[in-house]
Amino acid sequence: MNRRKIYTIILSTLSVLILGIIVWHVSSTSTKKTQAEAQQQVIKKKQTKKKLREKAPSPLNVKDDKHMVNLKDFKYNSASEKKKYPDLYKYPKAWIDVDITTQRVYIKDGKTNLYEMYSSTGKHDTTPRGTYHIQNERGDFFYTAPLKLGAYYYVSFLNHGEYLFHTTPTDEQGTYVKSIAKTLGREPSSHGCVHLSVPDCKWIYENVPSGMKVVIHGKYRLFVKSS
C-alpha cells in the first residue's frame, strides 16, 4: 500500500471521528438544553401553583357574615348563623350559591346574602359546577350500603337523587360520623354532594321549594387542614 492511500485512509478516519465528535457535542448540548428547559417548566408550574394557593381565599380565612358562629366554635349540630333563617315567602326569587373555594353556601336574593352556611363539598373535586335547580327528590333519611354512610334531610339538585344537599354523614345506625362532621366549613369531604350542619340542612329540607336555582362555582382548594 503506497503512502497516498495510507494518508487517504487516515484522513477519512479522522474526518469520521471529527464528525462523530461534532454530532455528539451538538446532541449532548441539545439534550442538556431540553433537560434545562423541562426543569424550568417544572419550577414555573410549582411557582404558579404556589401563587394560586396564596391568592385563593382559604376556607379558614373567609370574611363571613357578622352573625356567623365562629368557625372554631361551630359544631355540626348547630346553625351557622346566630340570626334567624330568612322567610322565603318574602323572597320569591331567592337562590342558592355554593362556593367550592370558601366551602360556604349562601342563600341569596339577587346579590344580597340572606343567610350563610358552613358546608363541605366533594373531595377530589367531585362536586359538579354549573347552574341547577332544586328537584322533587327529598327525604328525612337515606343510607348507601356500598359507602356505609347515610344522612338526614336530603334534597336533590342534580340527576334526581345523585347530587344532594344533606347533613354531614351518619353511620348505618344514624349516628353522625364526627371525623367527617368536623370538616364543615373547613375542607371538602363528600363524594360530590354538599354537606351541611343538621339545623341548616333541615331548614333547606323544610323551606326551599323545588325549582329554586342553585349555582355551584369556585376553585377546588387542596391541603386545607381541619382544626
CATH number of the domain within which 170 lies = 2.40.440.10
Q: Which residues of 105-118 are buried (b: 16+ CB within 10 A; e: fewer)?
A: bbbbeeeeebbbbb
In a domain, 62, yes or no: no
Q: Is 17 helix (H, G, I), strand (E, B) or coil?
A: helix
Same domain for 46 and 92, yes or no, is no
* Domain that includes residue 115, residue range: 68-217
Higher pLDDT, 57 or 141: 141
**CB neighbour class for 56 (10 Å; exposed up to 12, middle 13-18, buried from 19):** middle
Closest alpha carbon to 107 in 98, 99, 115 = 115
- Residue 53 Cα to chain centre, angstroms: 12
- Do 78 and 113 lie in one domain? The reply is yes
Which cell numbers in the block locate residue 190? 363528600
- Of the residues 124, 133, 193, 201, which is catalytic? 193
Residue 51 and residue 23 share a domain: yes
Name the pTM for this structure.
Answer: 0.75
Q: Is 220 helix (H, G, I), strand (E, B) or coil?
A: coil
**Nearest 5°: CA angle at 138, between 84 and 215?**
65
Cα 120 to Cα 156: distance, rounded to the nearest angstrom: 16
Is 201 annotated in the active site? no
Indicate the pairing of strand 163-167 with strand 213-217: unpaired
Greatest distance between any 2 Cα atoms in the chain: 111
Are 40 and 76 found together in one domain?
no
pLDDT at 218 over 60: yes
pLDDT computed for residue 38 by the predictor: 75
pLDDT score recorded for residue 73: 94
30-54 pLDDT per residue, tens: 666 677 777 787 777 776 655 555 5
Q: How confident is the model over 90-128, as pLDDT tens digits?
A: 999 999 999 999 999 999 999 999 999 999 999 999 999
In this predicted model, which residue has the larger pLDDT, 1 or 221? 221
In the chain, what percentage of residues exceed pLDDT 90? 67
Structure confidence at residue 19 (pLDDT) = 76
166 is catalytic: yes
User: What are the φ/ψ torsions at residue 144 (nearest 5 degrees)?
Assistant: -105, 105
**Residues 159-198: pLDDT tens digits?**
999 999 999 999 999 999 999 999 999 999 999 999 999 9
Domain match, 105 and 164 both: yes
Q: Does 227 map to a domain? A: no
* Residues whose CB falls within 8 Å of the CB of residue 206, separated by 6 or more in sequence, listed in order: none
Per the listing, cell 479522522 goes with 14
pLDDT surpasses 70 at 55: no
CA dihedral 79, 82, 88, 90 (to 10 degrees): 180
Q: Report the number of distinct structural domains present in the chain.
A: 2
Is 172 in the same domain as 145?
A: yes
Residues 45 and 113 placed together within one structural domain of the fold: no
Look at residue 225 and tell me whether its pLDDT is greater than 70.
no
In the set 25, 160, 166, 191, the catalytic residue is: 166
Say yes or no to pLDDT of 25 above 90. Answer: no
Per cent of the chain over pLDDT 70 is 81
Tell me, yes or no, whether 140 and 173 share the same domain: yes
Per-residue cell: 32: 442538556
Give the pLDDT band of residue 1 (cuts 50, 70, 90). low
C-beta separation of 67 from 193 below 8 A: no
- CA-to-CA dists, residue 29 to 32, 39, 86, 131, 195, angstroms: 5, 15, 69, 53, 55
